[in-house]
């Protein structure tokens, strides 16, 4: 039989005082973050119950404020042509409903990017179509190619793209590649050596190595996918650089969509990229000449299609993409068709979707039957009954892993970008999306949505799930604020 030593009363008192002090100090630290009450209380409780593990988790994953310097000179150049765009859009704006004008104003106020224009807008479906268009644009580039990706794999498509970038760099084209240090962790020095030897520059976003920062930022990733060629042709959307997104290489490749933009709106994709590049590499463009700015942000005539680039991240508490999606759902009059691989709605988005359905809007939500995260899939299912009860129609995509991130509102506007419909995308990741006003994108998005429904199964209001699955789904929902 074991006998545990009895601690002296003085030691017990000292431990009690130290414990109380520990809880008070940590509670003050967390409360000063001014996050949601539920999140704040959850972190305080976890660190009280698990003093060592809880502190480590909070240190690495807990909320913190990130400060990034806006490049005022860069943004001032981007705004030089904004007036021409707005002047060209004035006749359309005068005829547009007031709620659309207010939506554009909300985007400007939340991320400081005005409505711009594009001369060409194309929806790209699948890896084959997207990568073909991407490679074609890079081959045609004459001055610079800028790329930013969350995942860039050293596999078949990644190697092919690297070799093309090496070729362009050797031709004198300025190549800058920015990748997320965690998402692209498999990119090693040997893979990147040919790029650097050819004169291309490579940047890592939020290096994950311990000691690189006083407090790690491992929980804050760039989830953006941006490609800009010569400042006039740009791409964004859901596809990463990986064979998992190329159906020519894998029959089970993710089903995804991307957007090709040409015209002045690309200037704002460029601005977001250059600010991310500056933040990650320390290059602040202070010595950039007027001629160099003219190459980075070339002037062009306004296009026919109104486009607004929306960027969000943990350095901006206004949660621009989150706000814009919720606002667009609230003003919908006829339909809201949402496609997302990770569906974990918070109170504002859940309320917006159910309110729209209750007032008679055709609200449809398309999610994968099984995503690449079992916990996220389970959490998503826990919301289905509430959504269906309010009149929302929910479908599960059966064919492959669905990775598209789009939303169609009436015939007025379409969203396409990198943000999932979850807390991580809205609050923790650096994300970007394009909001295209008018039929240039809505027609294509509507047709693609209906095509995807033919490979999906509608979730029945009378579905019967086993007890253990219902319990698992409900348990996964508890982790929704962290997903």
Alpha helix segments (H runs only) across 286-346: 290-296, 320-331
Least Cα distance to 405 among 218, 239, 193, 265 occurs for 239
State the first-to-last Cα distance of the chain, in angstroms, to the nearest integer.
46
Active site residue 230: yes
Active site residue 72: no
Return the number of other C-beta atoms located less than 10 Å from residue 108's C-beta. Answer: 15
Contact 378, 480 (CB under 8 A): no
Catalytic residue among 146, 258, 305, 403: 403
DSSP string, 97-141: -HHHHHHHHHHHHHHS---EEESEEEEEEHHHHHHHHHHHHHHH-
Active site residue 451: no
Active site residue 206: no
Catalytic residue among 85, 180, 230, 246: 230
Least Cα distance to 302 among 137, 123, 118 occurs for 118
Q: Is the dihedral of CA 188, 225, 182, 254 positive or negative?
A: negative
Q: State the DSSP code for 321.
A: H
Catalytic residue among 180, 276, 410, 422: 410
361: phi then psi, degrees, rounded to nearest 5: -75, 140
Active site residue 403: yes
Percent helix, strand and coil across the chain, each to the nearest 5: 45, 20, 35
Exposure class string for 171-191: b at 16+ Cβ within 10 A, else e: eebbbbbbbbbbbbeebeeee
d(CA 316, CA 279): 14
d(CA 263, CA 230): 11
Catalytic residue among 223, 255, 322, 330: 223
Active site residue 393: no
Least Cα distance to 371 among 349, 337, 403, 395 occurs for 403
Least Cα distance to 126 among 262, 309, 251 occurs for 251
Which strand ranges, in their side-by-side order, compose the sheet holding 116-118? Answer: 116-118, 305-312, 431-437, 413-417, 406-409, 335-339, 362-368, 393-397, 456-458
Which strand ranges, in their side-by-side order, compose the sheet holding 201-205? Answer: 120-125, 257-262, 233-237, 226-229, 144-149, 174-180, 201-205
Catalytic residue among 255, 405, 412, 452: 405
Q: Among all residues, which ones are annotated catalytic?
A: 223, 225, 230, 403, 405, 410
């Amino acid at each position: 039989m074991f006998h545990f030593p009895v601690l002296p009363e003085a030691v017990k008192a000292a431990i009690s005082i130290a414990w109380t002090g520990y809880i008070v100090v940590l509670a003050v630290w967390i409360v000063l973050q001014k996050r949601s009450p539920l999140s704040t209380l959850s972190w305080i409780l976890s660190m009280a119950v698990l003093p060592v593990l809880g502190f480590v988790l909070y240190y690495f994953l807990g909320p913190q404020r990130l400060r990034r310097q806006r490049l005022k000179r860069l943004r001032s150049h981007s705004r030089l042509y904004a007036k021409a765009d707005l002047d060209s859009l004035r006749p359309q704006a005068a005829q547009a409903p007031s709620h659309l004008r207010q939506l554009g104003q909300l985007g400007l106020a939340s991320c400081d990017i005005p409505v711009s224009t594009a001369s060409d807008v194309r929806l790209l479906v699948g890896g084959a179509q997207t990568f073909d268009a991407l490679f074609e644009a890079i081959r045609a580039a004459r001055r610079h190619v800028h790329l930013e990706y969350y995942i860039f794999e050293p596999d078949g498509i990644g190697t092919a793209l690297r070799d093309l970038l090496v070729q362009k760099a050797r031709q004198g084209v300025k190549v800058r590649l920015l990748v997320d240090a965690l998402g692209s962790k498999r990119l090693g020095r040997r893979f990147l050596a040919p790029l650097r030897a050819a004169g291309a520059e490579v940047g890592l976003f939020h290096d994950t190595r311990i000691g690189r920062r006083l407090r790690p930022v491992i929980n804050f990733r760039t989830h953006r996918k941006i490609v800009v060629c010569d400042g006039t042709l740009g791409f964004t959307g859901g596809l990463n650089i990986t064979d998992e997104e190329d159906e020519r290489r894998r029959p089970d490749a993710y089903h995804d969509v991307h957007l090709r933009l040409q015209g002045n709106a690309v200037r704002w994709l460029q601005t977001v990229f250059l600010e991310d590049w500056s933040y990650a590499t320390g290059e602040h463009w202070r010595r950039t000449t007027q001629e160099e700015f003219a190459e980075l942000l070339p002037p062009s005539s306004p296009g026919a299609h109104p486009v607004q680039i929306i960027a969000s991240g943990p350095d901006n508490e206004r949660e621009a993409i989150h706000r814009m999606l919720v606002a667009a759902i609230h003003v919908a009059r006829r339909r809201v068709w949402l496609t997302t691989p990770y569906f974990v709605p918070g109170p504002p988005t859940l309320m917006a979707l159910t309110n729209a359905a209750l007032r008679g809007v055709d609200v449809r939500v398309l999610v994968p039957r099984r995503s690449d995260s079992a916990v996220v899939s389970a959490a998503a299912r826990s919301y289905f009954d509430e959504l269906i009860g309010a009149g929302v129609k929910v479908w599960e995509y059966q064919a492959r892993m669905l990775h598209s991130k789009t939303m169609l509102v009436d015939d007025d506007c379409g969203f396409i970008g990198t943000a999932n419909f979850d807390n991580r995308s809205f609050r923790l990741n650096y994300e970007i999306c394009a909001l295209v006003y008018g039929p240039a994108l809505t027609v294509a998005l509507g047709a693609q949505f209906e095509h995807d429904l033919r490979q999906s199964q509608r979730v029945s209001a009378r579905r019967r799930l086993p007890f253990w699955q219902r319990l698992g789904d409900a348990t996964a929902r508890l982790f929704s604020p962290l997903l």
